[in-house]
Amino acid sequence: MALDVRYPGSIKAGKPILEPLPKGWKCAALNAYLEPVARRANLKDGQKYRLVTVKRSRGGVVQREWLSNKDISVKTQFYIEEGDFLISKRQIVHGACGIVPEELAGSIVSNEYCVFRGKENFHLPYIKYLSATLYFQQTCFHSSIGVHVEKMIFKLESWFKWKFNIPPLYEQKRIARLLSTWDEAITVTENLLVNSERRKKAMMQRLLTGGTRLPGFDGEWVEKRLSTLSSYIKGYTYKSEDYSDSPTDIGFLTLKSLQRGGGYSPRGMKYLKVEVDEKYLVEKGDIVFAVTDITRGAEIVGAPLIVPELGVPKVAISMDMVKLEVNPGVSSNFLYYALKLRSSRNFMRARASGSTVLHLDVKGSKKLKIRMPKSRAEQDAISQCLLTLDEHIAGLKLKIRLLKEEREALIQQLLTGKRRVIIEEEAEATTA
């Protein structure tokens, strides 16, 4: 189903269409399964209270802040407990709902939230996955009123009029348990990713400053300006009529190709139907960065990208970018990582100025001082260590993406009944 282009990607604005009722399931409104609860909090002077919020896209219930009674502007507050299901009335169109974790039990929320417990016929953890279905999200949108997506208010009485296909209790538990294994695998891999990225940052700081030397190297280190290590080549100045829709033409990297802090985004790849001078072309392993940016600011300007394999024979860069022509005897990979150091990024950020459009002081940026070993072999050895870590991190990111895709596919199949779990009772009847 095509999404209404007036809405951001988090809004599921289409008409809710209920799938055919699976065998053994019941079609009913969710008020047959959910019990709204209101544990009124009697706020006392001199006491502090923990307030929570619910992140968009089912990002979970998280702590917002601790406030004393006098600083809480809305005095009508309610306690929440572990296992409660929360819906943010103002943000549910963006998927702001979630289950309260143990560590946030006893926090408070205003009447801007709906708080639920499950009835005897409902396994509340099941709703964590039900809320990820397209049908659930669309019913929330159609149960909200307002003229602007950021000002829409959820109406519980309207939402309780929508019918849902709900499996029996034992199947709810089985589905939730099965999907929780994906959650656990994703969490474990995300933790590995966080630890690997921390390790890489620490390693970069030590290896790229000479604080830690690799075995077998003890040569001299020097400090040089960027202008003595490479030269800048500005990208191609294009016209709108130069653009092409054909991927067989010359590839063209635009600002949208660059991610915050460095990195490549395929959505920024365009194509040109004109020939361009070879000096504007880049190859795998070249270093490029933006010298101007309109929307994303100093996180883009000066942040290096090492060009990946793009699958296009020829690729040019736009006039908003520069390519570094690295001098002989200098490892381009070492220079790339040196440009990613926090000190280098701060130096570049400080030389980006402008109100609506940021421009990098190109001449000033070349004064960046980079500490490096004289030995090209040591430069290569250091960059290889960091490249290996990058490959490991990229593998973890790919694994997380694939796990999330598998989880999403399973949710849409299991919670519509298109795919059924093996039910213990059925298995026992078959073997009896």
Whether residue 431 is predicted with pLDDT greater than 70 in this model: the reply is no
- Specify the amino acid at residue 48: K
The CATH number of the domain holding residue 390 is 1.10.287.1120
Query: Do 112 and 48 share a structural domain?
Result: yes
Query: Do 364 and 228 share a structural domain?
Result: yes
Q: What is the pLDDT of residue 296?
A: 65
* Nearest-10 Cα torsion for 223, 228, 233, 234: 60
Whether residue 11 is predicted with pLDDT greater than 80 in this model: the reply is no
Q: Is residue 429 part of a domain?
A: no
Residue appearing with tokens 């075995």: 215
Whether residue 3 is predicted with pLDDT greater than 50 in this model: the reply is no
Phi and psi angles of residue 400, each rounded to the nearest 5 degrees, phi first: -65, -45
Nearest of 99, 122, 117, 113 to residue 35 by alpha carbon = 117
Q: Is residue 178 part of a domain?
A: yes
Report the C-alpha gap between 360 and 345 in whole angstroms: 12
Write down the pTM of the prediction.
Answer: 0.82
Torsion sign (Cα): 222, 227, 231, 232: positive
Q: What is the pLDDT of residue 49?
A: 96
The CATH number of the domain holding residue 366 is 3.90.220.20
Give per-residue pLDDT as tens, 392-418. Answer: 999 999 999 999 999 999 999 999 999
Q: Among 33-47, 141-155, 285-299, 404-418, which is the least confidently predicted range?
A: 285-299
Q: What is the pLDDT of residue 221?
A: 96
Query: Do 173 and 162 share a structural domain?
Result: no
Give the C-alpha distances (Å, rounded to integers) separating 293 from 256, 257, 279, 356.
Answer: 10, 12, 22, 9
End-to-end alpha carbon distance in the chain: 45
Give per-residue pLDDT as tens, 217-274. Answer: 999 999 999 999 999 999 998 888 888 888 888 989 888 888 876 788 888 888 898 9
Phi-psi label, residue 199: left if phi above 0, alpha if psi -120 to 50, beta otherwise: alpha
Give the C-alpha distances (Å, rounded to integers) separating 160 from 113, 141, 147, 323.
Answer: 15, 13, 22, 58
Q: Is residue 77 part of a domain?
A: yes
Query: Do 251 and 357 share a structural domain?
Result: yes
What's the structural domain count of the chain? Answer: 3
Q: Is residue 424 part of a domain?
A: no
Query: Do 269 and 286 share a structural domain?
Result: yes
Report the C-alpha gap between 97 and 136 in whole angstroms: 11
Average of pLDDT values for 111-131? 96
Are residues 45 and 70 in contact, defined by beta-carbon separation less than 8 angstroms?
yes
Report the C-alpha gap between 172 and 165 in whole angstroms: 11
